[in-house]
Amino acid sequence: MPDLIRWAILGAGRIARKFAADLAAVPGARLVAVGSRSGERARALAAELGAPRAYDSYAGLAADPEADVVYVATRNHAHREACELALATGKGVLCEKPFALDAMEAAAVIGRARARRCFLMEAMWTRFIPAVRQWRQWIDSGRLGEARLLQVDFGFRAEPDPRSRLFDPTLGGGALLDVGVYAVSLASWLFGPPTRIESTACIGETGVDESVGILLDHPGGRLSLLSASIRLDTAKTAVVYGAEGAAWLSCPWWKARAARLEPRTGHPVQIDHPFPGNGYQFEIQEVHRCLAQGQTESPVMPLAESLEIMKTLDAVRRRWSS
């Protein structure tokens, strides 16, 4: 691995700060710049995080002479523009979820990255969490027999606020894009793209989907039952069933610190994988590994799959928006 990967953070909001805290703990990572639409916010964040440079525009940050990779931490509707600015100057990009607002945007960004031969990855950090990898390994090794049914929920309670990114349709709000994407991504990772998609949603007063239910058919008679909400605190579980048992992730499953195997016969097994911080360090390590090996995408979160996931999200929305 190179001794040092130099990061820049684009967008000075909540997730930028949480990500930066984990970045600081990854060996070989250095934060060299932050950028915001506001110079004041950029300087405040740079001072808070000890970043040497602060830019008052996303274009300025993208042109930083030192950064190897830009972490795109803007609200959903601004992901595309931010990614394209960074890719245009030859930077690698780690882009927050959802990767884009729709599949058309996703395809455009992927096209830019490929044309520039730049690294690009959707920040689907759950895939890199050690307990989640353990869970996947049990499934792949046939410990459940053939995995047939995935049940996942991701719901939390927020108060409706038309100014919040969660409830503003123009900012890419709604349960599906905010948290449903995690469930759809997990289903895609385990079972591949769906062959049939059913969905229904509760649309709130601001016009966004506040709760959504999704049923996916996958090849080989496999099913995913998914739900997401920004109005309801749900159980936050993920479990996959096969004829020979079940495998659970500890709650909340998207940052699980343990995985549990319950075989039909024999004793349950629980494996604990505690970690410090928020859990973003594992995706950061994957970016470092890819850059060190000259890979322009991650085999764990490949671009073709990010595009497929956006297509699934588009199809889900078509079920209730027409």
46 binds ligand NAP (CB under 6 A): no
Among 36, 151, 229, 281, the residue binding ligand NAP under the rule CB under 6 A is 36
Among 96, 153, 305, 308, the residue binding ligand NAP under the rule CB under 6 A is 96
Judged by CB under 6 A, the chain residues 152 through 211 that form the site for ligand NAP are: 165, 178
109 binds ligand NAP (CB under 6 A): no
Q: What is the DSSP letter of 76?
A: G
Q: What is the DSSP letter of 235?
A: -
Other beta carbons within 10 Å of 249? 27
12 binds ligand NAP (CB under 6 A): yes
Q: Which residue is nearest to ligand NAP (CB)?
A: 13
Residue 291 burial class via C-beta count within 10 angstroms: exposed 0-12, middle 13-18, buried 19 and up:
middle
Contacts of 321 (CB under 8 A, 6+ apart): none
Judged by CB under 6 A, the chain residues 47 through 76 that form the site for ligand NAP are: 73-76
125 binds ligand NAP (CB under 6 A): yes
Q: Taking the complex as a whole, how short is the minimal distance between the CB of residue 273 and ligand NAP, in angstroms?
A: 18
Among 8, 46, 78, 259, the residue binding ligand NAP under the rule CB under 6 A is 78
Among 5, 15, 121, 307, the residue binding ligand NAP under the rule CB under 6 A is 15
Distance from the Cα of residue 13 to its chain's centroid: 17
Could you give the CA distance from residue 138 to residue 179 in angstroms, rounded to a whole number?
25
Asked about 97 being catalytic, the answer comes back as: yes
Q: What is the DSSP letter of 33?
A: E
Q: Taking the complex as a whole, how short is the minimal distance between the CB of residue 245 and ligand NAP, in angstroms?
A: 30
Is 242 within 8 Å of 148 (Cβ atoms)? yes
Shorter beta-carbon distance to ligand NAP: residue 78 or 147? 78
Is 246 within 8 Å of 129 (Cβ atoms)? no
Distance from the Cα of residue 103 to its chain's centroid: 15
Could you give the CA distance from residue 87 to residue 92 in angstroms, rounded to a whole number?
7
Task: Give me the residues that bind ligand NAP (CB under 6 A), please.
Answer: 11-15, 36-38, 41, 73-76, 78, 96-97, 123, 125, 165, 178
